Structure formats: structure tokens, C-alpha cells
Amino acid sequence: MNAWPSLAGTDMVAEYGGTTTQDNANILDQVNLITFTDNEYNFPSAVLAVGIATSFTEPTYFNGRFYRPGQIVNADMIFNPAKKFKTPSIGGTGTDLFSTALHEAGHLYGLSHTAIKSSTMFFVLPPGQEAGTLEADDELSYLKAYPNDATLGSANRIGGTVVSGLTGEPVPGAIIFAIDVASGDTASCEFTLPDGSYLLLGLPDGDYLRELVRRFNSEQEFCNGVLGSKRIGSRQSLG
Ligand SMILES: [Zn+2]
């Protein structure tokens, strides 16, 4: 759980609350539970575990305090009781427990899946312990969610708005990849918001190409394109 909050430049703290005899997770009881024995959650057969963060869509008074829209009220990690997990020290058969937990912990902290396959937050778990370390894209997603004040003030920003060339309307849900020109690697990615805007925060100094992948109505149909023809420095700022 601490691999995420210990990232540099972030200011969220996770505290271990001890053990409990509670088996089943409850998304509103404000017990942030990690359980291997939930017999109520309905797992699809291919799913190893789920991380569920609960928030409200509008300002809500709950259990004696106000919560902002999107503010996490409760978080639970539920491992599929039908699956087997292993650790390097205990061994056995099954899936690497730490890799699975690291991914689900990202969800508990409010992160969603990324489109970058090498990231811990990609929705398919790579074999072995490959997801047991956070990649640059994972770290930037977390940094954007929980930056400390100093980081927020000084971090590199690349942002913009994607609009349809046909209608001029904003395009939500498009994926923007930031590709490091020097290495050719995809450094980070971000989805556009309902108003078509996106913001990549905290990329290291360098030149990046922004590649747009827009998903159309059909699930299979993708359209690739590079946004703009010139390289952009990561110091470019929207203010
Ligand atoms: Zn996931």
C-alpha cells in the first residue's frame, strides 16, 4: 500500500489500521478492507482481484462530514477467493500477490487503468513479478492525483483540448500519449475530459510528441494521428 504514497513529490499518507475479523467488504462502511475471504462479491472467472474506491458524484454530507464530488469515502481490496496467490518468500503456485496488490492499491487511491501496456495500471497483469514495480506512467498518474504544493507549483505541464475537426465539438475519452522523442518510448498517457481537455503533469524535461488515439463508437475502430507537427518541450505551460 505504501509503494504509491512514498513516491516523491506527493503528500498523501496511508496508515496500516491493523487486522479485523470482517470477511466481506462494504463499499460504504468506511472500513478500508483488504480481504481474501469475501464470499459475496461476484467475481467473473478471469478476475484475480478488484480495488474499489467509493465516491459521490455531488457534494454529500455522510457520517458527520462533507465530501466533495470524487473525494474517496471508502476503499476496499477484494481478492478472488477462488484464485491462488504466491509470494517470493512463501512460494507456492498462483499469481504474484504483490503485483496484484500494487495494481489494486492504485485503484484504491482512485487511479484508473492506463493504455500503456508496460504500466502496473494496465488492465492485464503481465507474467511473474513484472507489475511489481511502478513505471513512469504509473508514477505520473499518482503524482497528478496527490501532488504536494511545491511539486504542483514547479511540475512540467503539457496540456490542450481536443476538438472534432468536423464539428468543432470537444472530444472526450480520447487518449493522448506523450512520446519521448529521445528514446521513442511512451512516457505517459492521459484521457481527455468531457470538455475535451487534457493535462500531462510532471514529465521530466525533454521533447515529447503528443499522439492522439481517438476511440469511435465502435469498440474496434481506432484512429491514430499526431497532434501538431512540431515537437513540444515539457516546459511548455498552460499556466
Ligand atoms: Zn484494474
Taking only the tens place, the pLDDT of each residue in 109-143 is: 999 888 898 899 988 887 777 788 999 999 999 99
pLDDT category at 218 given cuts 50, 70, 90 is very low
Of 3-7, 28-32, 39-43, 85-89, the range with the lowest mean pLDDT is: 85-89
Ligand 1 center from residue 102 Cα (angstroms) = 10
Ligand 1 center from residue 165 Cα (angstroms) = 33
pLDDT category at 215 given cuts 50, 70, 90 is low
Amino acid found at 183: S
pLDDT category at 220 given cuts 50, 70, 90 is very low
Ligand 1 center from residue 134 Cα (angstroms) = 14
Ligand 1 center from residue 239 Cα (angstroms) = 32
Interstrand relation of 95-96 and 85-86 (parallel, antiparallel or unpaired): parallel
Rounded CA separation 221/90 (Å): 44
> Under CATH, which architecture does the 156-233 domain have?
Sandwich (2.60)
Q: CB atoms < 10 A from the CB of 3, how many?
A: 18
**Which cell numbers hold the place of 234?**
515539457
List phi, psi (to 5°) of 99: -60, -45
Tell me what pLDDT residue 102 has.
Answer: 95
The string of DSSP letters for 105-142 reads HHHHTT----S-TTSTTSSSPPSTTGGGS--HHHHHHH
Rounded CA separation 171/165 (Å): 10
Taking only the tens place, the pLDDT of each residue in 147-201 is: 999 999 999 898 889 888 888 899 888 899 999 888 888 889 999 999 999 999 9
Residue 230 has pLDDT above 50, yes or no: no
Ligand 1 center from residue 126 Cα (angstroms) = 12
Ligand 1 center from residue 69 Cα (angstroms) = 22
Ligand 1 center from residue 70 Cα (angstroms) = 18
Ligand 1 center from residue 95 Cα (angstroms) = 15
What's the distance, Cα to Cα, between the start and end of the chain in Å? 33
Ligand 1 center from residue 213 Cα (angstroms) = 21
Ligand 1 center from residue 50 Cα (angstroms) = 7
Residue 65 has pLDDT above 50, yes or no: yes
* For the chain, domain boundaries: 34-145, 156-233
DSSP state letter for 170: B
Tell me what pLDDT residue 225 has.
Answer: 39
Could you identify the residue written with the cell 459475496? 40
Which fold does the domain 34-145 belong to in CATH? Answer: Collagenase (Catalytic Domain) (3.40.390)
Residue 209's Cβ-side half-sphere holds a number of Cα atoms within 13 Å equal to 14
Ligand 1 center from residue 11 Cα (angstroms) = 23
Percent with pLDDT over 90 in the chain: 54
In sequence order, what are the beta bridge partners of 96?
86
**Which cell numbers hold the place of 1?**
500500500
